[in-house]
């Protein structure tokens, strides 16, 4: 989660941070445009909710795989 309080995929926010650095621009939130710090923290609640959903729905999910089917990379069985 970025300092704007919004959860982004690690890959997406890292790409945004790198883009801002390469262009010499101030780091801003991709959603709000307001300035933010580079500090990133894991969104433990979102992760917990995803894991609970996966277990409840018996979704096959390869945690080590990026991409996959749809946005979640899993499928119900």
Predicted confidence at residue 63, as pLDDT, reads 63
**pLDDT at position 65 over 60:** no
Instruction: Report which of residues 68 and 41 the model is more confident about.
Output: 41
pLDDT tens per residue across span 12-28: 999 999 999 999 999 99
> Coil, strand, or helix at residue 74?
strand
Segments making up each domain of the chain, as ranges? 1-41, 43-77
Percent above pLDDT 70 for the chain: 78
Alpha-carbon torsion, ordered 35, 43, 75, 12, to 10 deg: 30
Alpha-carbon torsion, ordered 70, 74, 76, 77, to 10 deg: 130
* CA 17 vs CA 1, 21, 42, 66: distances in Å: 13, 6, 16, 20
Q: What tokens does 73 get?
A: 């990379």
């Amino acid at each position: 989660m970025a300092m704007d309080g919004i959860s982004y995929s690690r890959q997406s926010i890292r790409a945004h941070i790198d883009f801002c650095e390469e262009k010499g621009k101030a780091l801003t939130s991709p959603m709000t445009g307001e300035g933010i710090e580079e500090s990133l923290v894991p969104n433990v609640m979102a992760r917990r909710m995803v894991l609970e959903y996966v277990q409840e729905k018996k979704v096959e999910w390869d945690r080590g795989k990026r991409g996959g089917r749809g946005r979640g990379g899993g499928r119900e069985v």
